[in-house]
Structure 1
């Protein structure tokens, strides 16, 4: 007799895969997100505490303060591309990430120790900033591919949005916490918060149970592997467009940041506390962006959301350049603009990383992500220097308008690429 059950065209409901639980209910993702948020918050505390240590306790000159700032970003230029190759060569990236957190924790902990022993110097602070910065570069090269390994493919956009939100959460709470700790404990002891944060992050990452499934590509030597990562990033028209837009935006954003503090204090006559509040508004916008971007992507697709977000890049600069009036009016305008730009940046970054993951073969994701970081982070130093020089030559408000015009240059990078012709989901 014919088995009508096995010959039925309807699938057995028992074999239909169950939907994935929301990310907030997935233990491994919660551990990952918490680890990153705590680690980045500790870094925000240190960003305030280490310069204060150099300035108030060691009497650093302006040149030494500039070198201290450069020391933390220099590893992006020196090791960024190499770190991407190293991450691609590893079958398990989590041990590398944990090791970076532990090394950074040890270096941060030596600052209050050396201060207590009376042997802390500016050159040693430069060394700490450089080593911690190098650990961050190596960590980030492995971080993005590892995140994609611990979440289901169907939830990548939401996971990436959540990862982008970690920076926003840290920017909201980190500076305030840093100020409290510096006031209560002194600047060197506040650096201990960064060391503790790195240790907690390492412990949480170690508790993740997800199994990595990564088969490294065959290596052809360090230099050839780096060249191939560059080739992948520039030959693919979508990756090339993302790289161009990201680097262009960061260049002019860095120039803007270089002169904004002086403009806010001298031209807009804002109290210093309000400037800190604007940073918090940006962080709040980032959190809102992480909440709404998965819904936008689900309705319109990554490409269309990216096309819309890039149009709003110059909005913050335009509002700042036009802002005037009473202090409450300035606060309302600048606070609203900071929230909007926080939403825009997290939305763009989330779609950018999702598309990068889609367009890049898994075995090369580390070096492509590192190439992107090399370009987008490397221009920060150059943009900041040029912003300062232009401010000296032309004044502060003209530089803001230059940055607004420069921000428009990111639009054709995206709109003239194949991203414009992507079908709706």
Structure 2
């Protein structure tokens, strides 16, 4: 009797090690944390330089504030088209950090030479903002090309935690540097952070796996990115949610300090501590998100977190009581909101990657950035103008109501699980038992959740 050799079944690929044990991801995380912390320092140092040394007028301060989000409006869409044409994204990321380093380093150098002026600071802000737009577009595609699909939630949560770490340590570091080294020299810390980030990125060894999209011209590439977002139900819902949140959140930020000091009577020293609570909550949120998404999935986490967005703003608008009560309440909701924001942002990024074809990732991310960042200036302006007309507390309550509208964007989108129709009962074959009802439900929804 002749024997036939049977090929043994292929063994499953070993699971990748946790990201915290992957050298290259640690380098990426560290580079982002250092770079963002340096940017937090400049948020205090540059305005102080303009006010204390250059006696900037209110109009000049307004221009300086608007210079930060302006590159997202001017170059955001084009940045996505450029990124989608690249085989490798890390060289562009390194170049962006080096250009930003040179721009930031020019501030203390110009001050020492007696050449520093408000227009100089405006040019620096525009250059750094432009490099940030290019970097964000490239970084989004870089993560998708280097991190396994099963670890994208953990990767996104870790990078969101960078912002939380920076928001906790950045303002305190900025205060110390300005106090001991003056505001212009404090900007040098931002330059050094960009340089350190570039060196860390240069040390990464992981090869990218990207296939550049064929270009049909800048305008057609940009239009294709816009159309892909606006015609895709899930991406359109995420875009609408992001624009709604940022508009009303920025309107709230515009009157936040005035409301805390003049209406609630919170000392200025405690306001910085309350802001830092959001960063602490963000760190806890990053830790929880990676665990909760493994059990419930990104869609459900997004559906739940969006409900909690208005709570901090609503709490602030309703507070009336002694100082200890106001501070305690704002501390609790600040911790909670910090975690909610990180969980929402992480799941939003993962779902965007999941729903976007590889050749459109840069343009889709750029379209999101263009809209979500561009609305910040409109929200801040609206918050200030309306507060002059109806008062601080009514504006804050209005912002809470506006942020609640985000729930409709998410809950009326395909992200909300639909109950599948029950099939008519049919007799099961005797040789194969019918699968469990839960198994049938998971199998029927898997294609929709993970295209």
Give TM-score, length-normalised by structure 1: 0.97
Q: Does the Cα contact within 8 Å between 1:28 and 1:150 map onto a contact in 2?
A: no
Q: Summarize the alignment of residues 11-410 of structure 1 with structure 2, pairs less than 5 Å apart.
A: 11=9, 15-410=11-406
Hey, what's the Cα distance between the residues in 1 that align with 2:135 and 2:107?
Answer: 22
Cα displacement (A) at 1:2: 6.6
CA RMSD of aligned residues (A): 1.4
- In structure 2, the CA distance between the partners of 1:321 and 1:18, relative to structure 1 (3 Å rule), is same
- In structure 2, the CA distance between the partners of 1:108 and 1:16, relative to structure 1 (3 Å rule), is same
Cα displacement (A) at 1:6: 3.3
Cα displacement (A) at 1:415: 0.6
Cα displacement (A) at 1:300: 1.0
Cα displacement (A) at 1:322: 1.7
The unaligned stretches of length 5 or more in structure 2 are 419-440, 447-451
1:9-65 Cα offsets, whole Å, 9 max, x none, are xx36xx332221110000110000000000000000011000000000000111111
Cα displacement (A) at 1:150: 2.2
Alignment partner of 1:17: what SS? Answer: coil
Q: Does the Cα contact within 8 Å between 2:146 and 2:209 map onto a contact in 1?
A: no
Hey, what's the Cα distance between the residues in 2 that align with 1:268 and 1:4?
Answer: 84
Hey, what's the Cα distance between the residues in 1 that align with 2:223 and 2:144?
Answer: 24
Which residue of 2 is the match for residue 6 of structure 1? 6
Q: Does the Cα contact within 8 Å between 1:323 and 1:330 map onto a contact in 2?
A: yes
The unaligned stretches of length 5 or more in structure 1 are none
Q: Does the Cα contact within 8 Å between 2:99 and 2:131 map onto a contact in 1?
A: yes
1:259-283 Cα offsets, whole Å, 9 max, x none, are 0110001001111111101111001
Alignment partner of 1:211: what SS? Answer: coil
Q: Does the Cα contact within 8 Å between 2:79 and 2:137 map onto a contact in 1?
A: yes
Q: Does the Cα contact within 8 Å between 2:286 and 2:343 map onto a contact in 1?
A: yes
- In structure 2, the CA distance between the partners of 1:2 and 1:63, relative to structure 1 (3 Å rule), is farther
- In structure 2, the CA distance between the partners of 1:3 and 1:335, relative to structure 1 (3 Å rule), is farther
Runs of 4+ in 1 over 3 A off after TM superposition: 1-8, 422-425
Q: Does the Cα contact within 8 Å between 2:238 and 2:348 map onto a contact in 1?
A: yes
Cα displacement (A) at 1:4: 8.3
Hey, what's the Cα distance between the residues in 1 that align with 2:270 and 2:144?
Answer: 38
Hey, what's the Cα distance between the residues in 1 that align with 2:67 and 2:237?
Answer: 30
Q: Does the Cα contact within 8 Å between 1:29 and 1:150 map onto a contact in 2?
A: no
Aligned: 1:419 with 2:415: yes
Hey, what's the Cα distance between the residues in 2 that align with 1:283 and 1:3?
Answer: 67
Cα displacement (A) at 1:337: 0.8
1:109-156 Cα offsets, whole Å, 9 max, x none, are 010011011110111011101111111011111011101222111100
Hey, what's the Cα distance between the residues in 2 that align with 1:28 and 1:129?
Answer: 30
Which residue of 1 is the match for residue 426 of structure 2? none
Cα displacement (A) at 1:72: 1.3
Give the structure with higher Rg (CA).
Answer: 2
1:73-126 Cα offsets, whole Å, 9 max, x none, are 110100000001111111111111100000000010010011011110111011
Hey, what's the Cα distance between the residues in 1 that align with 2:175 and 2:161?
Answer: 22
Alignment partner of 1:19: what SS? Answer: coil
Cα displacement (A) at 1:421: 1.9
Hey, what's the Cα distance between the residues in 1 that align with 2:359 and 2:262?
Answer: 51
Hey, what's the Cα distance between the residues in 1 that align with 2:402 and 2:3?
Answer: 70
Alignment partner of 1:419: what SS? Answer: coil
Cα displacement (A) at 1:298: 1.0
Alignment partner of 2:415: what SS? Answer: helix
Cα displacement (A) at 1:324: 2.8
- In structure 2, the CA distance between the partners of 1:7 and 1:101, relative to structure 1 (3 Å rule), is closer
Hey, what's the Cα distance between the residues in 2 that align with 1:35 and 1:318?
Answer: 36
